Amino acid sequence: MSQLPKRYDPLVVEEEVLDFWNKEKVYDKTLKLRSSGPKWNFLEGPPTTNGFMHVGHARGRAMKDTQIRYMTMRGYDVWRRGGWDMQGLPVELEVEKNEGIVEKGLIDSNVGMDVFVQKCKELVDFYLERWVNDSIRLGLWLDYPEAYQTRKDDYIEHVWYFLKMANEKGLLGRGYRVNPTCPRCVTALSGHEVSQGYATKVDPSIYVKFEMVDRENEYLVIWTTTPFTLISNEMVSVHPKYKYVKLDVGGEFWWVVEDLVEVVMEKAKVESYSKVETLTGKKMLGWKYRHPFHDEVPFHQEHDEKYMHAVVTGKHVTVEDGTGLVHTAPGFGPDDFEVGKEFKVPVLAPVTTSGKFTDEVPMFEGKLVFDTNVEVSRLLKEKGLLVHEETVSHEYPHCWRCDTPLIYLADKTQWFLKMTGLRDKLVKANNDVEWTPKWAGTGRFGDWLANADDWCISRSRIWGSPLPVWVCDDCKSEVVVGSRKELKERAIEFPEDFEMHRPWVDEVVLKCEKCKGEMHREQFVTDCWLDSGMAHTASVDYLKDPSLFNRLFPYDFITEAVDQSRGWFYSLIYTSVVMHGSAPFKDCVSQEHVLDEDGGKMSKSRGNVVWAKDALETIGADPFRIFMLTRSASWSRMNHNQKEIDLIRKKLDVLWNVVLFSETYMELDKFKFDEKRMMKFLPEANLEDKWLLSRLESVVKEYHEHMDKYLWHQAGRVLLEFITEDFSRVFLPLVKKRVWLDSENPKKVMAYDVMYYALQTFIRLLNPFTPFICEKLHKDFLVRFADGLPESINLTDMPMLVDKLLDTEMEATFDVLQELRTASSHARNKKGVKLRHPVAKVTLIAEDKETSKRAESLKELLLDDLNTRDFEAVLTDILAEFTQLSVKPNYKALGPRYKDMMKQLVAQLQKVDAVKLRDDLEKGIATLEVKGKKLELVQGDVDFEESLPEHLSYADSKIGKVYVDVTRTKELEAEGLVRDVTRRIQVMRKEMDLKVEQSIEIVLHFSDNESVELAKMFEDHLKNETRAVTLDLVGPDREPGWKKYSYIKEWEIDDLKLKVGMAAR
């Protein structure tokens, strides 16, 4: 029969439990057990298999597991297929790094795209294995063997299927997108790449005036650090709220933002100028100007749209530098692009991806844009439009591979999923979702959804789901292919070893149905969020057999971190609304991130990432899980903090220790739990038994209320508080007295039954949070002391509320007890009266009738508990009885009048009846006889202070005022002394390793005779308590025969010195 180790070591426990689960196939058994239960379907948000699992991932996964285990124990047949997101840019970047690939163009020549893709597969497989291992170590019970992988052909096929459907619904289309582009690598860069490459760059900084149309001699003054973009200028943006002024600069009028007038005038070397007119920006909307390169660039001559070559408004305008009028070229900047879209100005982007002007700009055709800056300035100067020219050095994005300055460039070949006509449906679908917390969904996500733009899904990449669009070389007609089968049918030639990845898919050429020409694939892959977004359908292989999908959809529950709002939550809803007309999930819990100890972001570059594996292998999964789950609400950020984990781990220590305590005595008494017996005898049970069971049921109730709302942190906190506060600190000390009774004693059996019942219930409730320790305690404790339990706690049912055990009146009564304990300790503490010294009386002046009734009902228990001879609960504050009025002379008033009589007067004042004196003074004059003289006192001569009489100590509490009468009598002192002595003898018995029933002989040598006398009053009691056959009490004037005693020890009890001799007999 195995025994629990003395100390809780999570690592040892968890290793053992993992082994047990593995050997006994416990997970499979839970599936089988619940297979006929009601369905509850969880959709796993697939982690990206690049990099390892860190503690932030692990927190989210702990939440998933807790919910899953909870539902399983509630009897549900839980769908929980795992999933992995395996494609995308980060994988490529790591492979490029590993392979030393600098330029993407090199892939074909040096490595070969097929080899590259192979490397990507190997990399994600490597990470996949670690993710699975770490997840299992964390205790996350998912279906791993059947887990979906976004890189599989079957999965990608669903993405194609979706895109074809989207296209048929008119939602797929081409559009412009402004990308940071490296002209040397001839590729667009992702935001992530851009942020890696900021560096200082020296650029021209020019101030240019644009001649206005219909406003004679007036000019708009703009500023730019990229002169070449002026070629493609279409608008000038002003801020709608800023004030702009028209300046007379000697024959010409210039428009500049008011805040920057002086700066601009100084740069332009205009010494005298005057303000002619002031306007807010929005009034300038629509003002036309003549493009500075109107004559040179044919494109500009054709312009006649309303806002072309006109002033528009935008909030991106600042007054930090420049002129407050921002030159806007929609093809060359994200802000510019947005403005262009808003004012319906078409994009002009006469520059190739390699950064060279096209034939649309005849004067610069074939020239690299940066190289034209000087020329642009020169031309402007010639035209007399250059106001000022200088250079600035600023932070500018560079290519992280080759350090070439990037160009923001509009690219019209990108593919989009449109929002047109869909927005309302998405918002409505989202409103049907139950979000936790509510504001994250309807507010944060809902607002964002209502304003979401078209979704750019094309990526100029390799390792991803290929965009299934083929375009005819000749007639340019397009076809979106929806499946592998369809592709094969339309292919001119279909390779044997086909795979739905680049480069294989690129090699498939289709025949154009219109012109019989050749069709080639658009060389994009799709955004990997589209992959994971299809999980609702693709994860269950809908295309092969939709029956499983039909059973599961919509899923009951998903949970991911906030960064998924724009990611997974969005892509799920978008694709599902398009395909199935509704959101694919019913409940969604939003999580926040885990930060480092100082609240900083965890990142590889900072080196502050805590990997899940390390955390799990050093602190253990259970302490980690309970920390992550209870420390803060799922939607609040949290800091990873070792100190805090240690604190919460202590609570698991407490659980372990209370079980250990129970086990020790239950083992001794050969106890077997019998629920019927417990219920039968419960009416006669001790107060604390009924109380504990009622508390337990309150916990069960609250726990389920929280769990039903996915408030794991609340549910967990309720549990931890119960075990540490109620069970360990309150109940066990009360029960301890009973474990020494005979093993057959019904009081003791009841204590065991209650302990067992409470622990069994508790451990099951806790199991979803800390499955390892709970499994261990189930196996090695619960199973041993009851019949008919299954081998694993995961095969048991979640305890539900047992109404008949709930007794709120009992709990309220017990609260009174706790309050009285606290208050009495406080009052004792004030007077320095230790608990083991009995006091004469404790009085409660209760707040209300119920409290006093409850307190009275506890009287017997209280006498023992508070160690008092008497207890009374009364309702009214009988002030006179408990307070004492004392007189304080006012020396400043009395001194000058009574001078040398002061000493006697003061002495007399202490003796006088203070209440009477106060009453007299209130009426008028009081007289006092001192040394035969009658002295007169008036108000102000003395102050009165209310104080407690010496023998009383007072403490306030939530339930009323508590007075403790600490009057010392001989008997009370004797009792206290005997308790002191008894305790020390018991300590010595333990140190001698005596059996409980072993008799002894004792001598007590006191340092004063008074103590001898006191001890004699309780001689028999002392003998009984310590199982002494002989007891010799000796004072300071005699030295006992020490030789007789085998164990001698000296003690100090306050001032008393005590030497104890002891021998077994």
Partner RNA sequence: GGGAUGUUGGUCUAGCUCGGUGAAUGACAUUGCUCUUAUAUGGCGAAGAUCGGCGGUUCGAUUCCGCCACGUCCCA
Nearest CA to 655 out of 776, 486, 834 is that of 776
Nearest CA to 113 out of 471, 501, 522, 531 is that of 501
Q: What is the DSSP letter of 396?
A: E
- Site stretch for RNA (CB under 7 A), options 15-23, 731-739, 938-946, 1056-1064: 731-739
Give the strands of the sheet with 555-561, arranged side by side. Answer: 434-436, 585-591, 555-561
State which residue, 400 or 470, has the beta carbon closest to RNA.
Answer: 400
Cβ atoms 201, 388 nearer than 8 A: no
- Site stretch for RNA (CB under 7 A), options 60-68, 218-226, 507-515, 818-826: 818-826
The Cβ of residue 1035 has, within 10 Å, a number of other Cβ atoms equal to 15
Site string for RNA, 277-316 (x = CB under 7 A): --------------------------------------xx
In the complex, least distance from residue 584 CB atom to RNA, rounded to whole angstroms: 20
Site string for RNA, 872-911 (x = CB under 7 A): ----------------------------------------
Q: Enumerate residues 606-635 that contact RNA by CB under 7 A.
A: 631-633
Asked if residue 835 binds RNA (CB under 7 A), the reply is yes
Q: Enumerate residues 456-495 that contact RNA by CB under 7 A.
A: 456
Q: Which of 65, 85, 622, 980 is catalytic?
A: 85
Q: Known catalytic residue: 656?
A: no
Torsional sign, CA 935, 936, 942, 946: positive
Torsional sign, CA 492, 494, 495, 501: positive
Q: Which of 67, 414, 564, 591 is catalytic?
A: 564
Write the DSSP string, 519-567. EEE-S-EE-HHHHHHTHHHHTTTTTT-HHHHHHHPSEEEEEEEGGGIII
Asked if residue 450 binds RNA (CB under 7 A), the reply is no
Cβ atoms 562, 592 nearer than 8 A: yes
- Number of shown-chain residues binding RNA (CB under 7 A): 68
Asked if residue 831 binds RNA (CB under 7 A), the reply is no
3-state secondary structure of 430: helix
> Of 110, 352, 822, 857, which lies in the binding site for RNA, with binding defined by CB under 7 A?
822
> Of 955, 959, 977, 1062, which lies in the binding site for RNA, with binding defined by CB under 7 A?
955
CA distance 373 to 381: 12
Asked if residue 335 binds RNA (CB under 7 A), the reply is yes
Q: Are strands 243-248 and 253-257 parallel, antiparallel or unpaired?
A: antiparallel
- Site stretch for RNA (CB under 7 A), options 144-152, 851-859, 985-993, 1040-1048: 985-993
Element (H, E) at 708: helix 687-708
- For tokens 């607002």, what's the residue? 447
State which residue, 218 or 622, has the beta carbon closest to RNA.
Answer: 622
> Of 996, 997, 1038, 1055, which lies in the binding site for RNA, with binding defined by CB under 7 A?
996
CA distance 917 to 774: 70
Q: Known catalytic residue: 154?
A: no
Asked if residue 658 binds RNA (CB under 7 A), the reply is yes
CA distance 145 to 143: 6
> Of 647, 800, 812, 907, which lies in the binding site for RNA, with binding defined by CB under 7 A?
647
Q: Which H, E and C letters describe 92-105, residue by residue?
A: HHHHHHHHCCCCCC
Nearest CA to 985 out of 170, 994, 1009 is that of 994
State which residue, 764 or 989, has the beta carbon closest to RNA.
Answer: 989
Nearest CA to 504 out of 149, 163, 121 is that of 121
Asked if residue 12 binds RNA (CB under 7 A), the reply is no
Q: Which of 21, 287, 529, 635 is catalytic?
A: 529
Asked if residue 636 binds RNA (CB under 7 A), the reply is yes
Element (H, E) at 125: helix 113-138
CA distance 695 to 702: 11
Site string for RNA, 552-571 (x = CB under 7 A): ----------xx-xxx----
In the complex, least distance from residue 61 CB atom to RNA, rounded to whole angstroms: 18
CA distance 961 to 931: 43
Cβ atoms 973, 1054 nearer than 8 A: no
Q: Known catalytic residue: 591?
A: no
3-state secondary structure of 1040: coil
Number of H helices, E strands in the chain: 39, 40
> What's the start-to-end Cα distance of the chain, in Å?
35
Q: Which of 97, 601, 834, 888 is catalytic?
A: 601
CA distance 759 to 739: 17
CA distance 335 to 314: 9
In the complex, least distance from residue 712 CB atom to RNA, rounded to whole angstroms: 13
Which residue type, as a one-letter code, is found at position 693?
L
Q: Which of 10, 46, 350, 397 is catalytic?
A: 46
- Site stretch for RNA (CB under 7 A), options 129-137, 291-299, 471-479, 979-987: 979-987
Asked if residue 639 binds RNA (CB under 7 A), the reply is yes
Alpha helices in 722-790 (DSSP H): 732-736, 746-766, 771-777
Q: Known catalytic residue: 46?
A: yes
CA distance 897 to 755: 74
In the complex, least distance from residue 1061 CB atom to RNA, rounded to whole angstroms: 19
State which residue, 599 or 683, has the beta carbon closest to RNA.
Answer: 599
State which residue, 389 or 847, has the beta carbon closest to RNA.
Answer: 847
Q: Known catalytic residue: 453?
A: no
- Site stretch for RNA (CB under 7 A), options 267-275, 657-665, 873-881, 966-974: 657-665
Asked if residue 834 binds RNA (CB under 7 A), the reply is yes
Compute the half-sphere exposure of residue 800: CA atoms within 13 Å on the CB side of its CA: 6
Whether the ω angle into residue 38 lies within 30 degrees of 0, i.e. cis, is: no
State which residue, 725 or 920, has the beta carbon closest to RNA.
Answer: 725
State which residue, 160 or 871, has the beta carbon closest to RNA.
Answer: 871
Asked if residue 318 binds RNA (CB under 7 A), the reply is yes
State which residue, 289 or 781, has the beta carbon closest to RNA.
Answer: 781
> Of 755, 823, 844, 977, which lies in the binding site for RNA, with binding defined by CB under 7 A?
823
Q: Which of 6, 23, 544, 604 is catalytic?
A: 604
Nearest CA to 247 out of 224, 267, 270, 269 is that of 270
The Cβ of residue 453 has, within 10 Å, a number of other Cβ atoms equal to 10
Q: Known catalytic residue: 6?
A: no
Nearest CA to 573 out of 561, 551, 588, 563 is that of 588
State which residue, 983 or 1057, has the beta carbon closest to RNA.
Answer: 983
In the complex, least distance from residue 984 CB atom to RNA, rounded to whole angstroms: 9
State which residue, 136 or 835, has the beta carbon closest to RNA.
Answer: 835
Q: Enumerate residues 155-194 that contact RNA by CB under 7 A.
A: 178, 191
- Site stretch for RNA (CB under 7 A), options 283-291, 591-599, 798-806, 908-916: 591-599
Asked if residue 362 binds RNA (CB under 7 A), the reply is no
> Of 599, 607, 683, 788, which lies in the binding site for RNA, with binding defined by CB under 7 A?
599
Q: Known catalytic residue: 604?
A: yes
Site string for RNA, 1018-1037 (x = CB under 7 A): --------------------
Q: Which of 568, 635, 691, 712 is catalytic?
A: 568
State which residue, 986 or 1009, has the beta carbon closest to RNA.
Answer: 986
Residues belonging to the active site? 46, 85, 529, 564, 568, 601, 604
Interface ranges with RNA (CB under 7 A): 7, 178, 191, 195, 315-316, 318, 334-335, 439, 443-444, 447-448, 456, 562-563, 565-567, 593, 595, 599-601, 631-633, 636-639, 641, 643-644, 647, 650, 653-654, 657-658, 660-661, 664, 728-729, 732-733, 736, 821-823, 825-826, 829, 832, 834-836, 955-956, 979, 983, 986-987, 989-990, 996
